[in-house]
Every structure is written in C-alpha cells, then in structure tokens.
Amino acid sequence: MTEELLLSFPVAKKVPRVEIVHGERREDPYFWMRDKANPEVAACLEAENAYTSAVMAPFMPLAQNLYGEMLGRIQETDMGVPWRKGDWLYYSRTEAGQQYPIHCRKRTEDAPEQVVLDLNELAQGEAFMALGAYAVSDDGRRLAYSTDVTGFREYTLFVKDLETGEPLATRVEKTGTAAWARDNRTLFYTTEEDGTKRQYRLYRHAVDGADHVLVYEEGDQAFNIGVGRTRSDGFLILGIGSHTTSEARVLPADQPEGTFRLVAPRVPEQEYDLDHRGDVFWIRTNDRGRNHRLVTAPVAAPGRENWTEVLAHRPDVMLEGLDLFESHAVVIEREDGLSQFRVIDLRSGDWHRVAFPEPAYSAFPGANAEWNATRYRYAYQSFVTPASVFDYDLDARQATLLKEQPVLGGYDRTQYVSERLQATAPDGASIPISIAYRKDLVRDGRAALYLSGYGAYGIPNTVTFSSNRLSLLDRGIVVAIAHIRGGGELGKPWHDSGRMLKKMNTFTDFIACGEYLLAQKYGARERLVVQGGSAGGLLMGAVTNLRPDLWKAVISKVPFVDVINSMLDETLPLTVGEFEEWGNPKEPEAYAYMRRYCPYSNLEAKSYPAILITTSFNDSQVMYWEPAKYTARLRTLKTDTNPLLLKTNMAAGHGGASGRYDYLREVAFDYAFMLWQMGITA
C-alpha cells in the first residue's frame, strides 16, 4: 500500500454554516450533505466508494477467500423447525442461490407444502427486500404482510388470500404493525407520521371492503404505538410507549368494531405490558423498581388499584418478558448478564428454572403460538454452540434438541474456549467481558484481538454463535464482547448508569475492557481492532477521540456520530423519542454533557487509528450524512497517514444488504480490512 494512494482521498467541498448554541459558535461546513436530492451528495459518496475500492484492491482476493470460507460453512438449502398454529405447521426454508427465505406451511409433516410467501419472487427487480408484518388470520385463510424495498423502513401493507394465492385489494403505504380480529376479515394496522417515521395512528380495515377507519392517534411526539394479539387470542392490544413510559389499551378480539379500553393511564417513568389468561391480565411493570415485577389484574377492572403482585421486584434480576399459556407461565429473566427461563405451573404454583450448560450463552423464546401448549420452544447458542432449537416439556422438565444449525466443513467445538471475564471501570464498576478463542492460544500478549461493544437503549449485547466468526478464530484471533453500561446485560440500572448524564460511563467502560484484555495478555495493542454499529458506532467515535492510541483499527458501522446536530433537529426520525436516551441539547446541561463526547464535535488535529466506516444511503435511523460528514471533517484534521475509508451501500438501509449472499460479502469485506490491520495476509 503506497502512501501516495492513501493520500489520494476525495476532498469534500465546504459550505460555510455557523450557528450559536448556548453561546458556543458551531461551524458545520458539511451541513450541505443533508440534501439527498442534490446530485453532488451521491457523487461525493461514490467518490469515497471508489477511493475505498482502490485502497482495498490488494486485499480483495483475501475478501473473496473469506467469502468462500464463510459460504462453505453454510447449508444453503435448509429448513427451519416447523411450529404449529391452528391447523397448520409453519416454517421457512432457503434454497441454494436464492437470497431470501421462503415462508411455507403444511397441514401435517407428510402433507404437501403450500408456499405462503416467497420473498425471492417479491424481490425480483429490487435491490433491497425486507419483510415487516407477517400475520395469518385465525382461520388460516388470509395473510397480512408488509415489505420495504428501499431500506428506509418504509413498509407497504398487503393482504393475500392463501386459498387462491391471489392478492386482495388492500394496499397501505408507510405501515408498521398489523393484527387480525377474530372474524378473519377485520385487520388493525398502524401507520407512520411523515418525516419523523413515528408510528402514531391505528386503523381498522375490513379487507373485503374499502373503508379504513381511524381508531386512535397518538399526539405525543415521544410515543410510538403498535398493535398485537394475546396468545390466548382473546384480546387485541394497542401498546403505546416512549423510551421510559407506556400504557396499553385492549379490545376483545371478537368485537372488532368496539372501543379500545385503557388498562392503566400512563405515568411518567413507569412502563408496563401485558398478556391475558381467563378473566385476568398478567402485567409486567416497573412501577416499584427498575427491573420490573409481575402482577395480575381482573379483566373487568384492570387499573393499578387492582394489581396483585405475583413476583416482586428484585434488584439483581431483570424481568424481561412473559410467555403465558393455558396451564403455565414462562418468565424470561436476566441475572448476572445471562438469560434465564422461570417456569411457573399455574395449576400448583410450583416453579423452576430451565438449566443451561455454558458460562456465556444466549437463550431466546421461540415460536410458541399455541395457547394450550405444554412444550416451550426456545433457541439457544453460545460462542461455541451453533444456534439450536429446543422443545422443553414444561411438566417433565426435559429439553429435547430439535435442530442444531449445521456448520459444514468439519466444525469441532472442542477446539474453542469460551469464558466470562470482569474488567474494572475507573469508578470501580465491574464490567463483564465475554471472550472466545482457540484452545491452543498462547497468552503471551502477541495475539490479534477483536473487541466489539454497543451499550445503549438497555439492549443486551448477547453472546451468539457465528460460523463467519470461525474465519477469525481459526486464524488465532481472540474475539471479545464488552458488556458495557448503557446496555441491558445487568438490568435497567445497568442501562440507567450509561445514558443521559451518565453516558460517559459507556465509553470509559469500553476503554477499561480494552486495557484489561491487553494487561491480561489476550492480545497486542498493535493488533487490537474494535467494532461497533449504530449506537455502537457512537461508541467507536467517542473512544477513538478519547484514546486513539489504544486501538490499531476501528470499524464503525452506520455510526451515530453527529449527536448534537441530529438531536437538535426534531424533524428527524427518532429525535424526540430519544431525548430520554441522550438528553435534549436545547437544554444547557444536556448540551454541555453531550458536548463532552459527541464524536463529530470533538474531532481534532492529532493522530488517529486506521478507520473503516460503513453506511447506507437509505438508512432512516442514522442518516448517511452523519458518517459522511464525520469522514470529511476527520480528513481535514488527522495528522497520520493511516487509512480512513468510507463505504456506502447506495441501495440499502440501517442493516446493510438484505440478501444473505450480499450480506456475506459485506462481512467478508470488513474482515479483510480487519485482517489487513492485524497483519494477517491469508
């Protein structure tokens, strides 16, 4: 790689723009990049793509080899484990050479297959395809589904007659969730607000008619809505919530033209959600503690004054969810950063937990559509155990493995080690780290090290299996996840201690994790590559500004790096609702705190590590201009000759390419950059 090539990067034009915020003069010469319709914007991004391609050209054979490795581990023609709903077994499958899944059903395992929805057919002629809503009517005759063909999360709702295979006349733009009433003809769906993309209106629609009746409109800009159905099929639920506050309204599913009834009015900083059994609602709420408790309330009078506690709040256990059945309840909990399933026998009151075998793993509820089920479907995986589907006998307390995702090519899990470590943050907090490596690793401080993190919205950064990751592990790379504050690994207090005016903890936690792994000789600083995406891209931008000396290279995907400017603009999607995550910079205290870490605002003249930034032109969550502006400004300030690359997918959204083969090529590209920086050439 010649220095001349690295220095031949595009130079974005500057257009003067100054604003004064709380007395600070803020210059943003790249504000013009927000004008998506301006052809100069696309030209600028394409110039960056061409530069990235030129710089990465010597490493594209490596990327192609990586792609071949990863593809070679995948069983391309495959089928998911069927799950029952009514008279049908539903499943999805893939075919070799096809980018997208095919959704199918059968009456019995031996019966002929009916294709419900083939996304490959829908994707013909489209550069992007994403499935949103997918709801079958109770009688199994009609399918309501929605698709996005741009990546901008702009879903169009359709209804298909599954008996004839023909589409009905229903077509609604910019929709969100959808749910059927029990009459099999009335569909409830939500729509988004122009500009902000906030789901704010609920409509009722008889699919054999033309009317679309507005049922509810949410006026508070901080709140989104969604509609669903209880597993009992007894009620439709209209959920209304912000990041910190929620309420629910219910309607008997057999009374579609009735009025949704409020369960309990919203109270600031209190959240609740619910399910139904018999004449009782079961409610998960944080009214008496951040980690939630479980209560019941009579259907006839479900207000707070009638709540009866079933499971008390516990400061060390997060109550994440509830799956309710005719004779059992499964409470999804998180303790010590790990998922747990508490099974309650509703006939006797006895309870027990499902046992899991590894020190670091993830377990997720599966497809459990049947109300009278006595077996609980769940998915399990870890760094070394491939994604597995189990049925758990709720009475016999036995788990049966139904399928472990095949890993072709002779994968031997005994060759890998998974651990849970603890780093110490500057304030003394203990920060969990999940780590995996080949068992023949020599901990002499010379290995290549890949550390990722997220740390936002109370979302746990879970430990999952990836056959792609074997291309790193088998090259001797140590792979680690930092479970930093701001995430949900240790419950809502873990989230609270890494948001708003405590957000700096997220960044110092990550730095502490990097320093700990180096001190424990898991890897070498000159071979340490870090990665984060979206809010994790904010993490990357912040820690790169704070400790550019600690990282050899940074991979920042769809990064939220222009925090202050985006949060000052209430016309953007997400902004108002996310005042409860980041703060409102129109308030002096919030602005001053945000000013400490906003990556774009804190770029300065100094040496930075090698950086790969990826984004998508149609991203509606972190607009393309944030990474584009960040790249342009950093180019004018960095004093080193390390590569700074911006790669934009011009036909995708927040998650990148939608097709599985296209996505795999994106992973291979990222890995090739990473290996280059680690000094691994094959």
The reply to whether 176 and 258 lie within a common domain is yes
Which domain range does residue 342 map to? 316-406
Coil, strand, or helix at residue 190? Answer: strand
Question: Which one of the listed residues 497, 534, 566, 601 is annotated catalytic?
Answer: 534
Q: Are residues 392 and 439 in the same domain?
A: no
Alpha-carbon span 500 to 495, nearest angstrom: 10
**240 and 158 fall within a common domain:** yes
Q: Is residue 157 part of a domain?
A: yes
Residue 276 tokens, joined:
């139904």
Residues 533 and 583 in one domain: yes
Q: Is 662 a catalytic residue?
A: no
Radius of gyration in angstroms for the set of CA atoms belonging to the chain, rounded to a whole number:
25
State how beta strands 528-533 and 553-557 pair: parallel
H or E element: which one contains 146? strand 142-148
Instruction: Work out the percent of the chain whose per-residue pLDDT is above 70.
Output: 100
Question: Residues 216, 172: contact at Cβ < 8 Å?
Answer: no
Average pLDDT over residues 175-188: 98
In tens, the pLDDT along 580-629 reads 999 999 999 999 999 999 999 999 999 999 999 999 999 999 999 999 99
Q: Note whether 455 and 594 are same-domain residues.
A: yes
Which residues share a beta bridge with 75? none
Catalytic, 601? Answer: no
Q: Are residues 507 and 589 in the same domain?
A: yes
CA distance 610 to 524: 16
106 part of a folded domain: no
Q: Is the pLDDT of residue 3 over 90?
A: no
How many other C-beta atoms lie within 10 A of the C-beta of residue 669? Answer: 22
Please report whether residue 467 resides in a domain. yes
CA distance 129 to 661: 13
> 418, 654, 658, 670: which is the annotated catalytic residue?
654
Q: How far is CA 304 from the centre of its chain?
A: 32
Clarify whether residues 204 and 296 are in a common domain: no
Give 382-413 as a DSSP string. ESSSPPEEEEEETTTTEEEEEEE---TTT--G
Instruction: Single out the catalytic residue among 619, 620, 658, 670.
Output: 619
Is the domain of 505 the same as that of 481? Answer: yes
Residues 323 and 235 in one domain: no
Strand partners, 323: 330
Which pTM value belongs to this model? 0.97
554-585 burial by CB neighbour count: b if 16+ within 10 A, else e? bbbbbbbbbbbbbbbeeebbbbbbbbbbbbbb
Regarding whether 286 and 334 lie in a shared domain, the answer is: no
Encode pLDDT of 81-125 as tens digits: 999 999 999 999 999 999 999 999 999 999 999 999 999 999 999
What is the predicted pLDDT for the residue at 360? Answer: 86
Give the total number of structural domains in the chain: 4
Same domain membership, residue 320 and residue 298: no
- The C-alpha atoms of residue 366 and residue 373 are separated, in whole angstroms, by 13
pLDDT digits (tens, 9 = 90+) for 511-558: 999 999 999 999 999 999 999 999 999 999 999 999 999 999 999 999
Would you state the structure tokens that stand for residue 92, as one six-digit string?
């999805």
Mean pLDDT of the 422-434 span? 98
pLDDT (tens digit per residue) in 408-425: 999 999 999 999 999 999
Burial 481-504 (b: 16+ CB within 10 A, else e): bbbbbbbbbbbbbbbebbbbeebb
Domain assignment present for residue 108? The answer is: no
Quote the pLDDT of residue 148.
Answer: 98
Q: Is 619 a catalytic residue?
A: yes
Is the Cβ–Cβ distance between 558 and 621 less than 8 Å?
yes
Q: Does residue 117 lie in a domain region?
A: no
